[in-house]
């Protein structure tokens, strides 16, 4: 069983066509993969309509064509980022009002062809809706059995803690997972990764919070910077243009040579060696998936991790 890797299905049904998506999903399950992550808004920016739902719908078709597979996988999906008007994200994102959350889970379950998901996420903060309302609406899903656990993505630490305190005070189910962007390279101080939402990057504050809350786990999105560790045709964004990047890339290359792997696999090994951290991998081929599986299966020595951590 591969429980330290999540397969990201964001582009399945849009940029990645159905045949290729099915091949990847089949390989993932055959290899012992468990978690599949999607969202109700995936991938609105790739679809001519300007709205999402294609990823969930594809997963539903795949599950329907693979009897028994639903019992072998765990599904993770999200609500809060689907545009209400095409071409006007994020100013016209659906938000996290109680009615939106109820409608969101109903639509997701219909597209997925299931009666529950194992993990349901608030995709991003909604400044127009009180946290109390959002927390209560998510709790109702757990009580109804349509969601097993709850998580929040792209949230600032103060809102994560406040939401959890609201849940605890009122005897409701709280968030036990955060989904943020996390990778080995570090952006220049004062900048944020272009791949992340405003509060979507793992900072030292986020890491410190997770260290002191052992019931929380981190799902790391875009851990391989969309191929930029290994592809010369995809240069690193400007926020990584500083001396620390050079030193950390050199450390990655050293460890990759020692282990007979590559930068991507060392990054994944480094991430999975961090307590309660699970990378989400978006791949467009079976070969990329196999590379990722080899990465999370790689065990770094304590000395190798120390060299990676000390390269700053």
Q: How confident is the model at residue 132 (pLDDT cuts 50, 70, 90)?
A: very high
Other CB atoms within 10 Å distance of the CB of residue 65: 9
Structure token digits, residue 123: 């995709």
Q: How confident is the model at residue 53 (pLDDT cuts 50, 70, 90)?
A: very high
Q: What is the mean pLDDT of residues 232-244?
A: 95
pLDDT, tens only, 29-43: 999 999 999 999 999
Q: What is the mean pLDDT of residues 297-308?
A: 97
- Verify cis geometry, omega within 30 degrees of 0, for the bond prior to 43: yes
Which letter, b or e, does each residue of 1-38 get, where b requires 16 or more Cβ atoms within 10 Å of its Cβ? Answer: ebebbbbbbbbbbbbbeeeebbebbebbbeeebbbbbb
Q: How confident is the model at residue 45 (pLDDT cuts 50, 70, 90)?
A: very high
Q: What is the mean pLDDT of the chain?
A: 97
* Domains of the chain: residue spans and CATH: 2-228+265-300 (3.20.20.100)
pTM over 0.85: yes
Q: What is the mean pLDDT of residues 163-173?
A: 98
pLDDT higher than 90, residue 1: no
Q: What percent of the chain has pLDDT over 90?
A: 98
Q: What is the mean pLDDT of residues 17-29?
A: 98
220: left (phi over 0), alpha (psi -120 to 50) or beta: beta
pLDDT on residue 192: 87
pLDDT on residue 118: 98
| Crossing angle of helices 54-64 and 98-112, rounded to 10° | 40
pLDDT on residue 248: 98
Q: Which residue has the tokens 């009615």?
A: 99
**What SS3 class is residue 272?**
helix
């Amino acid at each position: 069983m591969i429980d330290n890797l999540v397969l990201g299905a964001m582009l399945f049904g849009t940029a990645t066509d159905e045949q290729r998506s099915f091949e990847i999903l089949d390989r993932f399950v055959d290899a012992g993969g468990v978690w599949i992550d999607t969202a109700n808004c995936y991938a609105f920016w790739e679809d001519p309509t300007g709205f999402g739902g294609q990823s969930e719908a594809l997963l539903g078709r795949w599950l329907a064509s693979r009897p028994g597979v639903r019992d072998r996988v765990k599904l993770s999906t999200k609500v809060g980022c689907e545009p209400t008007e095409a071409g006007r994200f994020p100013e016209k994102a659906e938000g996290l009002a109680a009615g939106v959350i109820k409608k969101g889970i109903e639509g997701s379950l219909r597209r997925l062809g299931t009666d529950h998901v194992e993990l349901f996420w608030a995709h991003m903060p909604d400044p127009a809706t009180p946290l109390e309302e959002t927390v209560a609406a998510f709790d109702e899903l757990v009580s109804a059995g349509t969601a097993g656990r709850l998580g929040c993505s792209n949230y600032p630490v103060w809102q994560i803690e406040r939401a959890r305190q609201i849940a605890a005070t009122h005897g409701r189910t709280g968030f036990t997972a955060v989904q943020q962007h996390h990778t080995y390279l570090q952006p220049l101080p004062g900048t944020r990764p272009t791949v992340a939402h405003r509060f979507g990057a793992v900072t030292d504050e986020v890491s410190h919070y997770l260290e002191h809350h052992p019931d929380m786990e981190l799902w790391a999105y875009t851990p391989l910077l969309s191929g930029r560790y290994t592809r010369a045709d995809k240069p690193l964004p400007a926020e990584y243009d500083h001396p620390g990047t050079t030193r950390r890339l050199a450390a990655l290359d050293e460890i990759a040579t020692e282990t007979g792997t590559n930068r991507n696999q060392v990054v994944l090994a480094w991430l999975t060696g961090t307590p309660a951290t699970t990378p989400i991998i978006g791949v467009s081929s079976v070969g990329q998936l196999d590379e990722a599986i080899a990465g999370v299966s790689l065990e770094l020595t304590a000395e190798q991790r120390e060299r990676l951590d000390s390269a700053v």
